[in-house]
Structure 1
Amino acid sequence: MNTLLRLAASALVALPLTACAAGTEGPVSLTWWQGPNAESPTRAAVAACTRDGAYKIKVETLPEGSDKQREQLVRRLSAKDRAVNLITLDVVWTAEFAEAGWILPLPDGAAAKVKDGTLGGALKSATWKDRVYAAPLLSGSQLLWYRKSRAAKAGLDPAKGELSWEELLAATGRLPEGERGVAVPGNRYEGYTVFVNALVASAGGQIVGADGRPGLDSEAGRAAASVIGSLATGPAALKGLSTLDEETMRAAFEQGEASFMTNWGYVYAAAAARAEKEPAFKKVFDDYGWARYPRTKADLPSAPPLGGSNIAVGAGTPEDQRDKAFAALECLTSAQSQKVFMMEAGIPAARAAVYDDADVRAKFPFSDVMRDSIAEAAPRPMVRKYNAVSTAVQTAFHPPASVTAETAAKAGAAVAEAAGQ
């Protein structure tokens, strides 16, 4: 359902969780609609949350691919299917599903528990019109990953302060040819929208504003376009930039074609696993550095990308089962459940407390940077017609080498049409 969950799924193993459900009434049966490739953590979470017998949870697996998952959920939810009780949602679906009345807002008590300790960026993705409609299950932000030895050669220490894209690109020019590459998303896919959104938000703007009006034809949109053009046509440009996604970026970074990369936290767990199997790769892994996502403007802090997934309760859930559904939602998204995902799959948690855990801090030395990045991350546009808006952004800004400051106006018009403005 989201990139982080799909890429990390193969590393997951089931671990027991402390039971977190409680209740005295007889058990009701709830159905949890979940994306594929997450069987192990799902089994572990369900086993823990049903141990006390307050309710049962049956898992139904949605098809592969975000579009097909959304299609099936929309069909069932619009028919008020009574068996769609717990739903794992991509973070970009909240506005559409809430506005359509397909998911229920959390009761005040449950909403208060979600707000208490959930990192700011993740909480925004679960909120629509000031009401909490879901509980973040998993989260994540992109960091700037770099080869420490090469950054030093370029005269940079990204860990000491937040770099701007301008500073980063100027520094890469001091590296020898073959080491100047900066790996960023460039393919025409959802990850490219994530990239554009982060650049625009870091410049103080929005692809679509809170009032529903497109915001790309602006100073922030032009600043974002300028960064993309510089990355695509300058010394840091990688061959095949227009086809890069998370995995091809990771490959370029591991192979040394790129000295810097923006990517999700899963890349560290993947590199650690490879270093254990391939002793020769340990030297590369030991050279991994990390820092906060770069600034678009030197005088504004960055607004890093946000990923992850949330759990919501379907509006067709019978009224006499809703209390149990919300109790299950709280349990499945507990800090302990999120710790298991982070420890075993490398998927960052949405709850701040997880980052204080000694086991997590020992395994993920970038925990502080990741926690702060999620807290200050910028969600993608919270709009009903998100898919159409995302496609318009990807098309207008592609290929990266064609992007100039003027692209922002064209993109703004495309987004306005897609959003129905």
Structure 2
Amino acid sequence: MAEPIGLRDGNVSRGGGSGELRQSNLTAILRYLRDHGPSSRHDTARGCGLGVSTMTDLVGDLRSRRLVVELDPIRRPGAGRPTRPIALDGEPWCVMGVHVEVDRVHVHGATVGGTDLWRETLPAVFADNHDGATVLADLLGAQLDRIPEGHQLVAVEIAVPGYVGPDGMTVTSRALGWDGAGVGKAVRAALAEAGLTDVSVGISSDFHLAGLYAARVLLNDPSSTVAAYFGGMSEVGSALVVNGEIFRGAGGGAGDLAHLHVQADGPQCWCGRHGCLNSVVRIQELLVRAGLRDADEAAELVLTDPEQAVGLLVEGARANQPEVCHALDQAGSSLGRAVDDVLGSVNPHAVILGGYLGHLAPFLMPALDRQLRARVHEGPYADTQILVTDEDPPVTAGAVLAARDACLYDPLALTTPLR
């Protein structure tokens, strides 16, 4: 059966054989508990469309795998026996979230249940190495010693600054100098050498995982919400998150909203296009248009200290410097044109501005609001929220979420009964 467009295999509801049906039902329970927190068996069964007897059997299986746990009984007002809520457990099972940057790799180890185990940032050199995938695999292989006794690694999710191939295992990255690098194959080989042959290995764009984290944290009900994310540290990246999952499209490249065309005579972007959103509102361009730095100085500052670069724009705007205010007003209009296109094509419940766009949001929003005024007066778009977070893109945290999800979506393959 062909995989539905935009979803990884683990996200797909399956039919067919009894094993696939059981896997689908187990995943439904785990996702319900992830999205709703501790819940009664009755509420969970109703939310998953399961009968009571089926629910009892499935919860027993998940308890034996330490993926769910029964909590203390709760007595509700009125007659009847106390209820025993169930909640996610997952403490024996370990995952790694990995964020690859040009000169370093961030690693975050956690349990499937969400307990932090360790965090480390490792120096790395990829751009000048003939086989960066092997360098990364060796770094991650050395991290296996950090897994505490009594825990077993079940999933790794790797965030990369680039595009992931349709196979989900190869990476093309301008920043890293990779062109179809076999990251997935190299990491799996390193894990197999350590005797870990059944670990899930996933690779995603760093902006996809930043968007996933932002949607899960900021939205009241991400499991039934469509969100568009715009963020970044120095340039714009983006993602679409549908029902709490990254929407990847046919080849893994969906959500590339940062390259929507917003200015006919705009500057050239690294992608080769002129006037795409990223080329118009990236920090380097804003510094130049605001008269704060010339082109070479702006490029150097963004490369060495992007936080200071954003700080210069914020300070100038707060001081009402005319050139800075004009540059940010133009940027807000350009961002508004991109958001307007997203509202018309995707009709999301929410648009999330994060990273440096979140820091600059107070100065971008007036022009953005003017650009959206006509759109949001139409019925389908009137309730769309524009949410702002000035938190820097939490890519590694998003990678941990995706790695935990891998276990929740494939519990029969990645875990075993422990009692």
> How does the TM-score come out when normalised to structure 1?
0.28
Larger-gyration structure (1/2)? 2
Q: Which structure exhibits the higher relative contact order, with contacts defined as CA atoms closer than 8 Å and separated by 6 or more residues? A: 1
Structure with higher strand content: 2
> How does the TM-score come out when normalised to structure 2?
0.29
